[in-house]
């Protein structure tokens, strides 16, 4: 009789929803679903929870040939300042456009390069000083050779969005070039901060292609759900054969 119950799955224990075996199966199912949910939340956190990153500049960066800032795991490197080879900063931030007409206050700055350790999208910059002395024909060009944004018409201090919020690939050199316009008297712009958004850059669709780590997590989550489902489907038979 016992063999009959085992082979036909009509055992009294298997038919009772509140039996220890049934309760154990429900508990395992809850744990599995919770684990899969955690995996999926972690998978989506890279894109959903990614927050803008602000790099700030101050007097501690003064007279440096290279400025390196790391925020939230992303590193910004500024280098190749021209024509003085050293960046000039003070409490109002980094001089990104400056000429000899302002004397020895912050020196010259007509060009420099910057590089990010991860893919980012340029969002905004914050001007702390310089607008009152501008003629209105100055501009700053940011380019990586394939994408360009030109910032001009500086008319107020504070935060400004990049006119073209280009996406920059990791470890790609961006050249920042100053155009002083027709009059160069007292041309000076200082950035107190620059904000970027972690992003996956692609020439076709910057925001839709998962990174290699995201693909790995996605495949892992699918495998775990598949194995967990197969395991739960086999549990009644395993419990009965014991």
CB contact set of 77 (below 8 Å; sequence gap of 6+) = 66, 67, 68, 114, 115, 116, 117
Contact 171, 133 (CB under 8 A): no
Cα separation, 84 vs 108, whole angstroms: 7
Interval 138-190: pLDDT, tens: 899 999 999 999 999 888 899 999 999 999 999 999 999 998 887 656 788 89
Beta strands in 34-173 (DSSP E): 53-56, 67-71, 74-82, 89-90, 93-98, 111-116, 120-129, 139-143, 148-152, 158-161, 167-168
HSE-CB of 29 using CA atoms within 13 angstroms = 13
Pairing mode of beta strands 120-129, 89-90: unpaired
Interval 3-50: pLDDT, tens: 544 455 544 544 455 566 555 555 566 666 666 666 555 555 554 457
| Domains of the chain (ranges, CATH numbers) | 53-198 (2.60.120)
Interval 53-88: pLDDT, tens: 999 999 999 999 999 999 999 999 999 999 888 998
Per DSSP, what are the bridge partners of residue 96? none
- Whether pTM > 0.75 for this model: the answer is no
Contact 213, 46 (CB under 8 A): yes
């Amino acid at each position: 009789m016992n063999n009959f119950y085992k082979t036909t799955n009509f055992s009294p224990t298997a038919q009772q929803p509140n039996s220890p075996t049934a309760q154990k199966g429900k508990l395992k199912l809850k744990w599995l679903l919770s684990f899969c949910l955690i995996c999926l939340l972690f998978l989506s956190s890279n894109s959903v929870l990614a927050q803008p990153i602000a790099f700030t500049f101050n007097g501690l960066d003064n007279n440096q040939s290279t400025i390196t800032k790391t925020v939230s795991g992303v590193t910004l490197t500024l280098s190749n300042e021209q024509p003085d080879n050293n960046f000039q900063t003070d409490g109002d931030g980094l001089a990104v456009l400056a000429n000899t007409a302002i004397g020895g206050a912050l020196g010259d700055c007509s060009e420099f390069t910057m590089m990010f350790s991860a893919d980012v999208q340029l969002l905004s910059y914050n001007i702390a000083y310089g607008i009152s002395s501008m003629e209105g024909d100055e501009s700053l060009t940011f380019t990586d050779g394939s994408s360009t944004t030109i910032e001009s018409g500086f008319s107020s201090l504070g935060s400004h969005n990049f006119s073209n919020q280009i996406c920059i690939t990791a470890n790609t050199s961006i050249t920042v070039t100053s155009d002083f316009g027709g009059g160069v008297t007292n041309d000076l712009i200082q950035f107190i901060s620059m904000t970027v958004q972690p992003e996956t850059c692609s020439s076709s669709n910057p925001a839709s292609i998962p990174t290699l780590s995201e693909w790995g997590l996605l495949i892992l989550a699918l495998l775990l759900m598949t194995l967990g489902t197969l395991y739960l489907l086999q549990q009644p038979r395993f419990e009965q054969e014991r």
